[in-house]
Copies of this chain bind each other. A is one copy, B any other.
Amino acid sequence: MAIATAIAIANADEESLTHPLLTRPLHPSTSNTMSQVAIVGANVCPIESLDYEIVENDPFKQDWRSHGCIQICQYIFMKWTLCFLIGFIVSLVGFFNNLAVENIAGMKFVVTSNMMLANKYLAAFLVFLASNFGLTLFAIVITAFISPEAAGSGIPEVKAYLNGVDAPGIFSLRTLIVKIAGSISAVSSSLLVGKAGPLVHTGACVAAIMGQGGSKKYRLTWRWLRFFKNDRDRRDLVTCGSAAGIAAAFRAPVGGVLFALEEMASWWRSALLWRAFFTAAVVAIVLRALIDVCLRGQCGLFGTGGLIMFDVTSENVTYHLKDVPPVLLLGVIGGIFGSLYNFILEKVLRIYSLINEKGTGYRILLACSISIFTSCLLFGLPWLASCRSCPADATEPCPTIGQSGNYKKFQCSPGHYNDLASLIFNTNDDAIRNLFSKNTDTEFHRSTMLAFFVTCFFLSIFSYGIVVPAGLFVPVIVTGASYGRFVGMLIGSHSNLNHGLFAVLGSASLLGGSMRMTVSLCVIILELTNNLLLLPLIMLVLLVSKTVADAFNGNIYDHIMKLKGFPYLEAHADPYMRQLTVGDVVMGPLQLFHGIEKVSNIVHVLKTTRHNGFPVIDESPSESPVLFGLILRAHLITLLKKKAFLLAPVRAGIDAFKQFSADDFAKKGLGNGDNIEDIELTNEEMEMFIDLHPFTNTSPYTVVETMSLAKALILFRQVGLRHLLVIPKISNRSPVVGILTRHDFMPEHILGLYPLLVNSRWKKLRIRFPHLDKIF
């Protein structure tokens, strides 16, 4: 598949650039050919839908009745313990991630600076280049060879999971380790990549691994965790994990909860908010305690455990009506740049995916060339900047010598510093801190700021697509801050706001224009900058930038998710879905089972189809057939494996499922499901029967075939279904018309079936204003 895709893309002309990477065949077809694969991390993997429906079959009911007070107490205790552990582990990871980056990158900058101080410029460049190259190589090699799922930010994958799309490997222990190590080395290697996205993925990983109840492979299982063997509880844990990720990355607990709520989660309820809040609070408290330790100087050379925390507090920020126009301007610019950023990034990712698909060698080559290019740029550009003399009232030594600092000497003579090097020849966190700082209005030159902005804008786009763990938050913040400050310089004395504030507002505007969040971004920026008085300005800038950007294209994560081929189920229905009925998109041939079915039939159907749910009907000679329910593939395989067979086609007794425990029908861990090919049956067994009645979900959700697709989507999405049975309007036909799955609601599928809709008024409207439907 990977190769087929690669070829398809290799033949891509200009037109194909507007289609998802995983295109469906162009010849029209009557069956749903939506591919069941997506690009997870860097590789094409099979994907599977999650199922949040309560399966009401007899084992489930009996299991439920057997739950006593002790089980409930175990469940509650475990749930809160897991949340606590998620918060605790993620905050430790976030802290050590930060510490490692500060020490590795700090050491690198000190060594090179010291060499430059001794005028050994070439040696300094080589050391800089080599260390960056080595770190990047390490990151790419572990990612490409050990866990390609860890490539990229991971936010699209986690978002798709929370929408109900599962892919094996995204939450494995291997991915977790590679994500952490790769993120540290990639960020340390001066690539312009962030750590927030990888931390969100890390948090989700930690949550999913703990929720799975250990590992069957390593015989680490715990009975108490059996309650979490279902998709609903795992979804909740992963949501908490992603909240913890942002909370740890930015030390923004409330922002983390809101990020999980606004951007990540597709289903939300009050109890989950409370648990996510608990998890984020654990993160906040643990981080606060660890920073206390670090402030006492026990965290290595450069680790003050800073985490990003850009204190811009001018105690009394004052602003008046005349400061509003510059802020509006920033918002508009942010919207334009943000949508442009998304547009270019998408194109670059398409080109990169052509290269990455060609093989691991190409991936490594790409990453290494980006690393070398970045190193050359970072080392070369400051030479173009003129030296500035140190301010008399500098709060730190100027120029900085022999330590990490903000007034980089670079090639300048004593008493002078290189302002571009202060931004570019530094870690991203330090650059942001510089840009956000107050009382530095004279520190930078306009041309420096412009050069820095252009560098960041393109470097961040070119760095994201390589096969290492890489986030987008920090690059966007630093890019936004640079043009914000540039605008502030241009406006100069026409505004009361200092340039640091302009930088903050610039970051907000680019974040708003690229990621299109509102409340969560607002809170994250407030928590980053620790100044609540800015709130009305930040709200204003976010409003404007999101509105402007929405006129051009969508959220960056949605773009990436679509590019990767995840069948993401939107909450709103596209207008043309109101014109179609469910009957228009559902299609056969439908595989049905009888209440008492022959084993060989079941085996045959399971081997020849890839469906995951099958309607069970009861037929009696006198009456028309009746829909009994829906049985899942996983349950059928369990039945076959346990050989619960009958010699004759009669209803099994009440104790038919005595040999099963509830665990047999519980959701397996990721990728641990059994395969039909692994089950071996004798010829005698093949001639026997299974009574499916006790194991069938007797109350699947159903819709009538005349219901509009839009209305069915509401049910499907709100309840979180995997299968939706379609029943006929007139009941004297077969009792079930078909099954709707996630793929049947995908616009690509529907518009493939009804190409005329593409040209209809509705679709046209949708194309002209591509995101109009989001505004509804």
Contacts and interface: CB of A to CB of B under 8 A. Distances in A.
B285 A539 contact: yes
A631 B526 CA distance: 51
A733 to B, nearest CB: 11
B284 A539 contact: yes
A415 B544 CA distance: 55
A701 B718 CA distance: 13
Nearest to A714: B719
Given A320-B292, A321-B292, A530-B532, A540 B285 contact: yes
Nearest to A581: B699
Interface in A695-744: 698-699, 701-704, 706-708, 710-711, 714-715, 718-719, 729-732, 735
Interface string A503-530: 0000000000000001100110011001
A21 to B, nearest CB: 25
Nearest to A626: B730
A118 interface: no
B706 A698 contact: yes
A258 B519 contact: yes
B271 A268 contact: no
Interface in A528-543: 530-533, 535-536, 539-540, 542-543
Contacts of A281: 536, 539-540, 542-543
A532 B540 contact: no
A271 B626 contact: no
A533 B288 CA distance: 10
B271 A539 contact: no
Contacts of A72: 765, 772
A699 B706 contact: yes
Nearest to A628: B729
B289 A321 contact: yes
A729 B518 CA distance: 47
Contacts of A19: none
Nearest to A269: B571
A518 B278 CA distance: 9
A273 B259 CA distance: 12
Contacts of A320: 292
A58 interface: no
B699 A703 contact: yes
A775 B273 contact: no
A64 interface: yes
Given A522-B254, A578-B64, A735-B731, A530 B527 contact: no
Residue among A518, A526, A624 facing the most chain B CB atoms (10 A cut-off): A518
A764 to B, nearest CB: 9
A590 interface: no
A270 interface: yes
A284 B526 CA distance: 15
A315 interface: yes
Contacts of A274: 518, 546
Contacts of A315: 313, 315
B277 A539 contact: yes
A218 interface: no
A207 B697 CA distance: 44
A446 interface: no
A703 B701 contact: yes
A735 B735 CA distance: 13
A253 interface: yes
Contacts of A624: 731-732
A708 to B, nearest CB: 6
Interface string A353-366: 00000000000000
A68 interface: yes
Contact of A532 (B532, B626, B711, B774): B532
Contacts of A729: 626
A687 B26 CA distance: 59
A3 interface: no
Interface in A733-776: 735, 761, 765, 772, 774-776
Contacts of A776: 76, 271
Contact of A533 (B269, B530, B719): B530
A270 B532 contact: no
Nearest to A287: B536
A378 interface: no
A271 B285 CA distance: 32
29 contacts: A54-B708, A54-B710, A56-B711, A64-B578, A76-B775, A254-B526, A257-B519, A262-B273, A268-B268, A270-B571, A271-B571, A274-B518, A274-B546, A277-B519, A277-B522, A277-B539, A277-B543, A281-B540, A281-B542, A285-B540, A527-B532, A530-B532, A532-B532, A623-B732, A624-B731, A698-B706, A699-B706, A699-B708, A718-B719
